[in-house]
A and B are shown apart, each in its own frame.
Chain A
């Protein structure tokens, strides 16, 4: 069941169409990456979904209702938007107390979410002294404080160091494991690829694709095998319908066969295998190709 439905959403600013008839859905319990280069219209789309920006046309609903019609919205959707910063003179704890209070969450939630985002020690420092990474964590804590079923996160990895990005991935997986629906935007596909079930890609305000990650990368997996009988293995696999190329005397690259199939064939013919590596699809390459082509290709929506 779709919890988020965006239908023909359009936003025109003076002379500029920031979002152009964007349509997509997010199913319950899924983690969806909302991707696109900077300026693609991701933030504007999310802000329309959240009732902060009024669409020129089209609709965006959450559980079948517009955000502005939700009862207790913070319990339904938790949002961490780039600029939803706290008043700089206020401590992180007081900022969260306000968020918990206005949403009607128990005061204990403040300490719980501070712990979730690793900000317990900095809780009583003023937000004005926070680094960008700490602000991102605080924004996440704010989104989580009312324990919402849906999370909308706008570029949560911005400003995080590699350790922070790893931490974020773990957190997103954990949130998804709790059955929450997550819509997370990013301008770097690789940043969210390990976490998301599917992606919605936007470029220059238009929808480029809405697909599962597997479909996006489908068919591009290659397996490299190191074996002293590279040519023999290549021949055998070619007979079986795979595409195999000997790339060195002891190396063969295969597409169209799984590692299981390759291993089985090798064992049947007593071919020793020293090493098997699966080449990950080049996500950045796919992403760049999709967003670069958007200008020329007519986009389905």
Chain B
């Protein structure tokens, strides 16, 4: 299994797409962090000044888009092989398809967690630069800030794993990439807006709260600015996302993954 996981990591590191997605993740995180910092404290934005713990938390946890890109990476790890017919070689080398799925999940989770780490560092870094520039005191403890970065790592890793499960279920790369964005940005916003009690259980929302984003407070995130309902505990949110991923993977293992490779 170690060899299989290392093979999948080798595939990822020899694909330009991996670096492209990572670059987009960093760029978007930096951009949205700048925008959040810029509007924090202004009237009518709902974002507290960055001199407050609440405001600083909002601007240093802009890691949701990097998590989504980790999910996209995961889906491509799984179904990109069908787009380019490289699945043939993969399954010739490892005819037991569930083993391939497991190795892909581990590889995507590893690389996905780096997306979360980098995004957490960028978002926190940008926030702290603004704080320093304003001459404010840092309103959050180092422990809290590090905890949010760690949460971004866990959230991105879990969404990357969820992406692999999705990509194993649906072989169309385009469908999964679009599906991930539509789900996270549109569907979760709508459902979360209509049923605030359901909101903490939505997987993308749950991932952002892992990283310390306030429920409904994640920048440009689902149901931004809505009040009501508390986030799930860290463990509950992580378990929820993992369970959804495993459930999708099991369905994929019994359906799509049994199909012929032609």
Contacts and interface: CB of A to CB of B under 8 A. Distances in A.
B260 A98 contact: no
A103 B10 CA distance: 13
A67 B95 contact: yes
Contacts of A94: 14
A166 interface: no
A221 B5 CA distance: 58
Interface in B1-32: 3-4, 6-7, 10-11, 14-17
A136 B91 CA distance: 19
Interface string A84-100: 11111111001001110
A121 to B, nearest CB: 20
A86 B86 contact: yes
B88 A81 contact: yes
Given A67-B95, A89-B16, A52 B10 contact: no
Contacts of B93: 73-74, 99, 102-103
A173 interface: no
Given A50-B92, A70-B95, A101-B7, A85 B85 contact: yes
Interface string A52-81: 111000000000000110100110010101
Interface residues of A, number: 32
A74 B4 CA distance: 13
Contacts of B261: 47, 52-53
A102 B7 contact: yes
A281 to B, nearest CB: 36
A159 interface: no
A143 to B, nearest CB: 9
Interface centre among B17, B94, B95, B258 (most CB of A within 10 A): B95
Contact of B86 (A51, A53, A87): A87
A52 B81 CA distance: 14
A51 B260 CA distance: 9
B133 interface: no
A248 B22 CA distance: 80
Contacts of B17: 89
Contact of A101 (B6, B80, B262): B6
B84 interface: yes
Contacts of B89: 84, 86, 98-99, 142
A89 B88 CA distance: 17
B121 to A, nearest CB: 28
Given A52-B88, A90-B14, A102 B3 contact: yes
Contact of A84 (B6, B11, B85, B258): B85
Nearest to B4: A102
Contacts of A99: 89, 93
B21 to A, nearest CB: 13
A293 B192 CA distance: 67
Given A84-B88, A98-B11, A53 B260 contact: yes
A76 to B, nearest CB: 11
Label chain B's interface by main secondary structure.
Answer: helix
B96 interface: yes
B20 to A, nearest CB: 10
Interface in B225-262: 258, 260-262
A85 B84 contact: yes
A238 to B, nearest CB: 57
B117 to A, nearest CB: 25
Given A47-B261, A53-B260, A85-B86, A98 B92 contact: no
Contacts of B91: 51-52
Nearest to A77: B92
Contacts of A81: 88
A83 B261 CA distance: 10
Nearest to B84: A87
Contacts of A67: 95
Contact of B95 (A51, A84, A85, A142): A51
B26 to A, nearest CB: 20
Given A74-B92, A83-B85, A102-B93, A47 B14 contact: no
Interface centre among B84, B89, B95, B260 (most CB of A within 10 A): B89
A40 B11 CA distance: 35
Contacts of A91: 14
A98 B85 contact: no
Contacts of B84: 85-88
A104 interface: yes
Contacts of B86: 84-87
Contacts of A88: 84
Interface in B119-178: none
Given A85-B86, A89-B16, 11 more contacts: A74-B92, A79-B92, A81-B88, A83-B262, A87-B84, A89-B15, A98-B14, A99-B89, A101-B3, A102-B4, A104-B3
20 contacts: A47-B260, A50-B92, A51-B92, A52-B260, A52-B262, A53-B261, A68-B95, A70-B95, A74-B93, A81-B88, A84-B86, A85-B86, A87-B14, A87-B84, A87-B86, A89-B16, A89-B17, A98-B7, A98-B89, A104-B3
